C-alpha cells in the first residue's frame, strides 16, 4: 500500500510565521502543506474544505482564537489532529487548548526537527507535548482543582498496562505487539480508559498517567527514542 503524505494546514495570524513554516515543511519528505489560514474562523472553513490530517494551530488570533477553532474543528471533524504551535506557555492557554481537543502543544521556539517529529506523532494519534509544557502541566495536575468533580471508575490491570503504554507515546499497533493482543483490542481498551476516567483524548490520558505516577517524563522520552 502506497504511503501518502501527511496533509498539513498552517494557521497563524502572522504571515511571516506561516510562510516560514511552509518553507520548512516543504523540505520534509512525507509532509505536504495543503493550505494556510490567518485566523480561527478561516481555519474552520479551510479544515472543512481541505480535510487536512494535521493542523498547526496558533492560539492567539483575531476574529476567532485558536482554542475555540480547535474546539469546533475537533467536534465536527474528530479525525483531524490539532497541534497547538504557540509562543505562550501560560496556564490560560495550555489547559484550555488540551481540553478543546489539541493532541499536541509545542512552542514556536522549538527546533525544526522537534516540530516535524510532533507533526508525525499527532498524525499517528500520539500526544506530543513540548517537554517544558509537559513538566508545567504535570506540576499543576499534582494539585487537585475545583474542576475535578467526577470520580473515575477503577481501571482493570490490563487497562492500567495499556494506559502506561499510551502515556509513553506508543501507537495502538505497537501496544498490541507489546502486549500480544490485536489492535482492535487495544482500541477497545483505550476507549474504556477514556470513558472510565472521564477524559477526552490521549493527551489527557497521558497527563493522568503522569499525575498518578504510572509513568514518568524520563520513561516516556526513553520509550519514544527506542521506537523512533
Q: Domain ranges in the chain?
A: 6-140, 150-226
pLDDT band at 216 (very low <50, low <70, confident <90, very high): low
pLDDT band at 64 (very low <50, low <70, confident <90, very high): very high
Average of per-residue pLDDT across 38-48: 96
pLDDT band at 138 (very low <50, low <70, confident <90, very high): low
- The CA dihedral of 100, 151, 175, 227, to the nearest 10 degrees, is 60
Query: Over 90: is that where the pLDDT of 101 sits?
Result: no
Half-sphere exposure of 202 (CA within 13 A, CB side): 30
Q: Match 471533524 to its residue by C-alpha cell.
A: 77
| pTM check: above 0.85 | no
Place domain 6-140 in its CATH homologous superfamily. Answer: Response regulator (3.40.50.2300)
Q: Residue 150: phi, psi to the nearest 5?
A: -80, 130
pLDDT at 128: 81
Q: How many angstroms separate the CA atoms of 140 and 91, rounded?
A: 9
Mean of pLDDT over the chain: 83
pLDDT at 151: 52
Quick: pLDDT tens for 16-25.
999 999 999 9
User: Which of 23-27, 88-92, 150-154, 199-203 comes out lowest in average pLDDT?
Assistant: 150-154
Q: Match 502506561 to its residue by C-alpha cell.
A: 164
Q: Residue 82: phi, psi to the nearest 5?
A: -110, 125
pLDDT at 199: 77
Query: Over 70: is that where the pLDDT of 155 sits?
Result: yes
- The CA dihedral of 101, 202, 131, 29, to the nearest 10 degrees, is -80
| Position with higher pLDDT, 221 vs 180 | 180
CATH of the structural domain 150-226, one choice from 3.50.4.10, 1.10.10.10, 2.60.40.2220, 3.40.640.10: 1.10.10.10
pLDDT band at 113 (very low <50, low <70, confident <90, very high): very high
> Are the beta carbons of 106 and 127 closer than 8 angstroms?
no
Quick: pLDDT tens for 196-207.
887 777 777 887
Query: Over 90: is that where the pLDDT of 99 sits?
Result: no
Other Cβ atoms closer than 10 A to 114: 15
pLDDT at 84: 92
Minimal CA–CA distance to 167: which of 143, 203, 130?
A: 203
Encode burial over 23-49: b for 16+ CB neighbours within 10 A, e otherwise.
Answer: eebeebeebebbbbbbbbbbbbebbee
Amino acid at each position: 500500500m502506497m504511503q501518502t503524505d501527511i496533509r498539513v494546514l498552517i494557521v497563524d495570524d502572522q504571515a511571516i510565521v506561516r510562510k516560514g513554516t511552509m518553507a520548512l515543511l516543504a523540505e520534509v519528505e512525507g509532509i505536504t502543506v495543503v493550505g494556510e489560514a490567518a485566523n480561527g474562523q478561516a481555519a474552520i472553513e479551510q479544515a472543512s474544505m481541505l480535510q487536512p490530517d494535521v493542523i498547526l494551530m496558533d492560539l492567539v488570533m483575531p476574529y476567532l482564537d485558536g482554542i475555540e477553532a480547535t474546539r469546533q474543528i475537533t467536534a465536527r471533524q474528530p479525525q483531524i489532529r490539532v497541534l497547538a504551535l504557540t509562543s505562550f506557555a501560560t496556564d490560560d492557554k495550555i489547559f484550555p487548548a488540551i481540553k478543546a481537543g489539541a493532541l499536541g502543544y509545542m512552542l514556536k521556539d522549538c527546533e525544526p526537527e522537534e516540530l516535524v517529529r510532533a507533526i508525525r506523532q499527532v498524525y499517528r494519534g500520539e500526544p506530543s507535548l513540548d517537554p517544558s509544557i509537559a513538566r508545567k502541566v504535570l506540576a499543576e495536575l499534582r494539585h487537585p482543582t475545583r474542576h475535578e468533580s467526577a470520580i473515575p471508575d477503577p481501571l482493570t490491570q490490563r487497562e492500567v498496562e495499556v494506559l502506561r503504554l499510551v502515556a509513553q507515546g506508543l501507537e495502538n499497533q505497537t501496544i498490541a505487539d507489546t502486549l500480544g493482543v490485536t489492535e482492535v483490542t487495544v482500541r477497545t481498551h483505550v476507549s474504556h480508559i477514556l470513558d472510565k476516567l472521564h477524559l477526552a483524548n490521549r493527551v489527557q490520558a497521558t497527563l493522568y498517567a503522569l499525575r498518578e505516577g504510572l509513568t514518568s517524563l524520563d520513561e516516556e522520552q526513553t520509550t519514544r527514542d527506542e521506537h523512533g
